[in-house]
Structures are given as structure tokens and as C-alpha cells.
Chain A
Amino acid sequence: MTILEIKDVCFAYDRLEILHQANLRIEEGDFVLLQGPNGAGKSTLLKLILGELAPLKGHISVFNTDVKIFKNWNQISYVPQRGYDHLAHFPATVSEIVATGSYSRSGRFRFQSKKKEQRIGHALEAVEMQPYARRLIGELSGGQRQRVLLAQALISNPKLLILDEPVTGIDATNTATFYRLLQRLNKEEGLTVLMVTHDILGAVDLANKHFCIEEGNLLQLTPEVLEKERLHRHVHTPGACHDLDELISI
């Protein structure tokens, strides 16, 4: 089943072209990594996928429905960048924050039912944060906060999980834990994942498809390119995309 399809999408802010005839297809169970230098258009692409922006040309469909008329947003969950810095001072418990993720599923019912409590428990268990349920979010580390946001995203049982640079500013140990959790969700529970990251080397083994955006082009990185980068032990550098014959513009 095709989860997401981007076909010949063009987008520009005023006259500045951000995306030029971008193509991308994500099938059920895929783990897709998207990389690119700052300002390349990664966040713009996410906004287009989430229906926050409309493409100038081309077509985007999620779950085989045009994103413009797509209604079942509870099938998609989104984890923002850097665990919202403002959460450090937000007066809410881990449970309260995770509970908000069930809004799309449970609608406007207000009071914590037993079923909802159970769902919160399961979501926290999935990210190994259950002992912290009653702690204030501000008392947790950046990595733990990011896992709470992952639980918030998972509570609605999404089919597609979108993550925007989820490990930026998080230490190596917590990053490794976060990746292990994502891998388990993808392999064992079949969750489709689209992750924007700069940590291409750390995350490369998680994904079965790798893309980069450079100068408006959305390009797929072949295993050969990734192997080269791994050997050179450096992160994909801007400008490298076009020179590599192994890159295919889809």
C-alpha cells in the first residue's frame, strides 16, 4: 500500500525556488531518511506533506487521497524538532502531554477514562518511559523529553510517523535509545517512518530508503553512495549530490 506519494512537486517562496519537480514514494513499512543542508527545503517538504502549504505544481497524496482533501490525520503523527525547548518550563506531567496525542482518536471527551489511562500506559511503555508518567516534563532530559513526544505521537496508533530532526542536541546514549525504539516500531509493528535528520551516519542502518534535498532537487541516495560516505566517516556534504553518478533523480 502506498502511504505517501509526491509527484512532480514544485514549490517556491516568492521567486526563490525551494523544490523543483520533486518525486517521492513511501510504501507501507518503509523507513525513509531525508537529509540536506540547512535551508535546503526539508521543513518545507514536511509542511507540504502535512497540508500546511500547497504545492505550486504537482500532486501530493497520502493514503491514496489528495492531501488537500485528506481528513484522517489521526493516521499520521508528527514529532517536532528538539522536544520543544519551551517544554522545559511547561507545567504538565508526562501523562498529561502523552494524553493530548489521543485527541484525534478520542475527540473531545474530557475526563481520563480507564481506557485512556491504559493507552497512555502502553504508549509510555513502548518508549520505556512508564516510570516517569507522573513526573513534570521539565524535570526530564532532552532525550527523555523526545521519547515522551514519541509516546504522544504513538498513542493514536498512527500508520505514518513523521519526525523532524528528532535527535538534534541529544547526547549519543539517548540518541541510540531513540533509534532502537524507532527500529523496533518499524520492524516489529510495521510502522512507516519518515525521518528528517542531519545524523545520516548514525541513522543510516535504520532506513531502507535515503533521500537528500539539494538546490531544489529531491534525490535518492543509492547504497553505493551511502557506503562511500560511511567509509569516509563524514556526513553528506552540500554540493556533493550532483557530482555523484550514483545518485538518481527519481
Chain B
Amino acid sequence: MTLMSLFQYDFMRRAFIVAIALGIVVPCIGVIVVLKRLSMIGDALAHTSLAGVAGGLLVNINPVLGAGITCIGAAFTIEWIRKKLPQYAEMSTAIVLSAGVGLAGVLSGFIQNATSFNAFLFGSIVAISNAELIAVVAIALLVLILFFLMYQELFYIALDERSATLSGVPINTVNFIFTLLTAVTVAIAARTVGALIVSSMMVLPVACSLQIAKSYRQTVWFSVLFGLSFTLIGLTISFYAALRPGGAIVLTGVCCLLLVFNLKKMVCR
């Protein structure tokens, strides 16, 4: 099999387009999430999305729509708890994660077709329909545009919310939009790479980038570069080695992070 044989298949072409879209968008969201010390937010939202998937399958609505709705609800709940308990901000993600897992566990017990539900646990990037492909690309583009439009504001809020407020940054509006973007991104990523590993895709590229970046701008660009590399390399490996794509993408990220750690150590010596 040559490398180009990958693209003989329609499903692989679709998978690569989705991988590129997510590889760019998820790390952009990840940078702000990590800098706001909310790394686990992706995990909490992804797990909560499972409750939406289960609910969607039960009442016969599109599970991705169900995931999206619960993700948005969960994201705003996290933000609300974070404001109520600013000294224990990280607790908000744990509360929502527990609630999401609990609800998903209860609802999944009533689902007849467990295969559909399992597809969301580890994702099914190679089983994406044309309609889903268009939706993912459109949402990814929208997220990317809004991210760069709010580049300055997001940076300032991540740096210091109080000073940002005093400088006139409309923090409530920016936080509202960002929460919405995070929820939507997690919902589409959960469908494709899997709810259990979506947070790794959010955090691993940023973790690698933070080891080498020499500015905030570089942190964003390197994160995107790493995210893109992980998804493309992981997807290629999964095709040739017949592995689950979501797992292969995340493991590529983990290997890369270990490599970057070691290289940095060697250079610092």
C-alpha cells in the first residue's frame, strides 16, 4: 500500500478534511482553556455530551444535536459555578463532569442500540457522512473566525480578568461567546475523535507548544501546528495499522509530548 492509497477511499478523504478542521480549531480553544487553568473543561463537556447522545438516541433526535445542547448547558453551568466559587474554580468542572457521567450512565441503560452510543465513546471519524462533514467544517470555520476576532480580548482575559474588565474588555460577552465556542467544538470533536479523548486533543498540542514557544503568539501557532500534525499522523497510522483513529491521534500526541520533553532536556544541558 502506498501513502496515496489512503486517498482512494471516500471515507478517508472525508476523515482527513475533518481531521484538518479539528486539528486547527481544537488547539485554538485549548490554548485559552489551559491558560485559564481549566484544562479539564474539555473532559467535563465531552463526558456530559454523552448524556446528550444518550438522550438524543432515546427520544429519536440527532445525537450530535443532543450532544451540542448538553455541552452548551454544561459549559454555562461550569462558568456559573466558577463565578460563584472563584477560589475553587477547578471544582466547577469536577461537579459538571460527575453530573454528566451520572446522567449518561443512567440514560444509556435505556438505549436499545448500544453500537450508536459506543461510537461516541471513541469516535468514528471514518464513518462521517457528507452532511456531518459540511457541518463540522462550517462550525470549525465559524469558531476559527470568532477566535481570531477576539484574539486580543481572550488573551487579556486569560492574563487577568480584573485588569481586562477595568480596561473595558466586555468580559461577560467574550466569556459567553467563548463558552459557546468551547461547547460546540467539544460536541463536534466528541462525534469524530471520541468523547473519552477529546480533552487530550485540546490539551496535548498546547502542552507541547508551551515547551518551546517564546511568546503567546507562538504558543497559539505551535499549538495549531502540533494539533494538525497529531491528527494527520494519527489518522494515517490508524489506517495502515487498523487502529481506532481517536486513540491513534491521542497516542501520537502523547509520544510527541514525551519527545519534546526529552529534546528540551537535552538542549537545556
Interface of A toward B, CB cutoff 8 Å? 50, 73-74, 76-78, 80, 84, 86-87, 90-93, 96-97, 100-101, 103-104, 108, 110, 134, 136, 152, 156
Q: Residues of B contacting A91 with CB < 8 Å?
A: 35, 209-210, 213, 215-216, 218-219
CB distance from A49 to the nearest CB of B (A): 11
A96 touches B163 (CB 8 A): no
B215 touches A103 (CB 8 A): no
Interface: B162 (CB within 8 A): yes
CB distance from B207 to the nearest CB of A (A): 11
Interface of B toward A, CB cutoff 8 Å? 35, 37, 148, 151-153, 155-156, 159-160, 162-164, 166-169, 209-210, 213-219
Q: A74-B168, A101-B167, A156-B167 are in contact. Are A96 and B160 (CB under 8 A)?
A: no
The closest CB in chain A to the CB of B160 belongs to: A84
Q: Residues of A contacting B217 with CB < 8 Å?
A: 96
A-B contact pairs, 13 of them (CB 8 A): A74-B168, A78-B166, A84-B159, A91-B216, A92-B159, A93-B214, A96-B215, A100-B156, A104-B168, A110-B151, A110-B152, A152-B163, A156-B167
CB distance from B210 to the nearest CB of A (A): 6
A97 touches B163 (CB 8 A): no
B216 touches A96 (CB 8 A): yes
A103 touches B167 (CB 8 A): yes
Q: Residues of B contacting A84 with CB < 8 Å?
A: 159-160
Q: Residues of A contacting B218 with CB < 8 Å?
A: 91
A108 touches B167 (CB 8 A): no
B215 touches A136 (CB 8 A): yes
The closest CB in chain A to the CB of B216 belongs to: A92
**Majority-rule SS of A interface residues:** mixed
Q: A100-B156, A103-B156 are in contact. Are A74 and B215 (CB under 8 A)?
A: no
Partner of B162, one of A77, A80, A134, A156: A80
B152 touches A96 (CB 8 A): no
**The 3 A-B residue pairs with the shortest CB-CB distance in the complex, in nearest-first order:** A92-B216, A104-B167, A103-B167
B216 touches A103 (CB 8 A): no
A90 touches B35 (CB 8 A): yes
CB distance from B231 to the nearest CB of A (A): 22
Q: Residues of A contacting B215 with CB < 8 Å?
A: 91-93, 96, 134, 136
CB distance from A84 to the nearest CB of B (A): 6
Q: A103-B156, A104-B168 are in contact. Are A80 and B216 (CB under 8 A)?
A: no
Q: Residues of B contacting A73 with CB < 8 Å?
A: 166-168
The closest CB in chain A to the CB of B31 belongs to: A91
A80 touches B163 (CB 8 A): yes
A90 touches B152 (CB 8 A): no
CA distance A242 to B156 in the complex (A): 43
CA distance A96 to B215 in the complex (A): 8
Q: A91-B216, A92-B216, A100-B159 are in contact. Are A74 and B167 (CB under 8 A)?
A: yes
The closest CB in chain B to the CB of A86 belongs to: B37
CA distance A93 to B215 in the complex (A): 5
Q: Residues of A contacting B160 with CB < 8 Å?
A: 80, 84
Partner of B214, one of A77, A80, A97, A136: A136
The closest CB in chain B to the CB of A71 belongs to: B168
CA distance A147 to B217 in the complex (A): 22
CB distance from B148 to the nearest CB of A (A): 8
CA distance A156 to B167 in the complex (A): 9
CA distance A77 to B162 in the complex (A): 11
CA distance A73 to B217 in the complex (A): 27
Q: Residues of B contacting A104 with CB < 8 Å?
A: 166-168
CB distance from B62 to the nearest CB of A (A): 36
Residue of B155, B168, B218 most packed against chain A (CB within 10 A): B168
CA distance A164 to B257 in the complex (A): 39
Q: A90-B35, A91-B210, A92-B216 are in contact. Are A97 and B159 (CB under 8 A)?
A: yes
A100 touches B155 (CB 8 A): yes
CA distance A93 to B217 in the complex (A): 9
CA distance A91 to B209 in the complex (A): 10
CA distance A100 to B158 in the complex (A): 11
